[in-house]
A = this chain, B = another copy of it.
Amino acid sequence: MSGNTFGTLFRITTWGESHGPAVGVVVDGCPAGLVLDSSDIQKELDRRRPGQSDITTPRKEEDKAEILSGIFSGKTTGAPISILVRNYDVDSSKYEALRDTPRPGHADLTYREKYGFRDWRGGGRSSARETIGRVAAGAIAKKILGMNGIEVFGHVVELGGIRANSIDIENIHNNTEKNPIRCADPDAALQMEAMIHAARGQGDSVGGIVEVISIGVPAGVGEPVFDKLSAQLAKGLMSIGAVKGVEIGLGFKSSIIKGSQMNDPLAMKDGKPKPLTNNAGGILGGISNGEPIVCRIAVKPTPSISKEQRTVDLSSMTDTRIKITGRHDPSIPPRIVPVAEAMIALVLVDMMMRGGFLETSIMDRL
């Protein structure tokens, strides 16, 4: 397996399995002089970690971040930042029954095809615990962005087919983190929560759509052609487990409207040319235009369901059936929000460094 590194100048490398001793990340390319301690990282890990409500997995993990390098006297030194999170509540007992029966919708069979055998304990490297490294690194990226007036925040816009109502940014700010769904529309949030309970009651699961908005990104970020800002975001978001679609701005809706409806008209505003609408989602020709960058991801329903499913027994090579009883989230979108934010923050910092918008060696402007 290669491909555990993401980014060019601001670059992260993650490691660790669900049921191994620990998971972690090395962040390389963080400039020197950033005031940073583990609380900056903990804040985001706490948003990601399980056990925040009854709609998440019952696995109990404090997910405490230990910073092992790159900080001196409370500031980053420019050296790589190694962050470690120990796994404590490891219980592989439920998984032993599954070692020869690949779970439909999971990576069990594909890992086996690729590597010959696999770490069957809790999904191994394909577990959602892999995202801890992303979120820890993303917390640093978010801090850098925040110091430059950029905010990245996500919310659930659809879950199990229920859509959140017309939501403005004010609302998203105020309401999203107030409910376990991370939905800015409180009424919809209640329905979504009920929907999750109902699905779980039926031994089933539901998916949804998460939107992430980045405000304050200056115009000019992104490298045209292959490293378009939109292309880097698409890669970062599609690399999150359970994501089956990515769209920018109007996305798939743009395919059914006319050019005259899609194009954002331009007009002078405060002495600068500005688009009057934001159908483009803040990116044109792969380069940011200064408007909010709007990304949405389609999150499939959790593949782990207790409903009986057809599968095969790889020891006897015969058909069989399974009911999955390990611990898992009945719906991923609420917990994927901080992960998606992290990936977007990582892309933004990296591409802003590449474009000369952020210092790479020393944060002398702080």
**Cβ A245 vs Cβ B244 within 8 A:** no
A361 contacts the other chain (CB 8 A): yes
Interface-located stretch among A23-31, A53-61, A138-146, A185-193: A23-31
The docked-state distance in angstroms from the alpha carbon of A272 to that of B259 is 48
Please give, as numbers and ranges, the residues of chain B lying within 8 Å of A304 by CB-CB distance: 259
A296 → chain B closest CB, angstroms: 8
A44 → chain B closest CB, angstroms: 18
Known A245-B245, A265-B309, A298-B252; judge A287-B114 contact (CB<8 A). yes
Please give, as numbers and ranges, the residues of chain B lying within 8 Å of A219 by CB-CB distance: 109-110, 113-114
A215 contacts the other chain (CB 8 A): no
The docked-state distance in angstroms from the alpha carbon of A309 to that of B226 is 29
A244 → chain B closest CB, angstroms: 5
Please give, as numbers and ranges, the residues of chain B lying within 8 Å of A227 by CB-CB distance: 2-3, 239
**Cβ A266 vs Cβ B104 within 8 A:** yes
Residues 291-318 of chain A: 1 if any B CB is under 8 Å from the residue's CB, otherwise 0? 0000000111111110101111010011
Q: Which of A1-51 contact B (CB under 8 A)?
A: 1-6, 8-11, 13-17, 20-24, 26, 28-29, 31-33
The contact of A356 among B125, B238, B359, by CB within 8 Å, is: B359
Known A14-B80, A238-B228; judge A3-B204 contact (CB<8 A). no
Most buried by B among A10, A16, A205, A235: A235
**Cβ A28 vs Cβ B1 within 8 A:** yes
Residues 227-255 of chain A: 1 if any B CB is under 8 Å from the residue's CB, otherwise 0? 11011111111110101111111111111
A169 → chain B closest CB, angstroms: 21
> Closest residue to A160 on the B side, CB-wise?
B256
A154 contacts the other chain (CB 8 A): no
> Closest residue to A333 on the B side, CB-wise?
B255
Please give, as numbers and ranges, the residues of chain B lying within 8 Å of A267 by CB-CB distance: 310-312, 319
> Closest residue to A311 on the B side, CB-wise?
B266
Q: Which of A261-292 contact B (CB under 8 A)?
A: 261-268, 271, 273, 275-276, 280-281, 283-290
Please give, as numbers and ranges, the residues of chain B lying within 8 Å of A111 by CB-CB distance: 78, 224, 285, 287
A70 contacts the other chain (CB 8 A): yes
The contact of A130 among B14, B33, B225, B266, by CB within 8 Å, is: B225
Please give, as numbers and ranges, the residues of chain B lying within 8 Å of A248 by CB-CB distance: 238, 244-245
What would 7 more interface pairs be, CB under 8 Å, given A110-B222, A265-B309? Answer: A15-B26, A77-B117, A115-B362, A235-B235, A244-B255, A259-B300, A266-B310
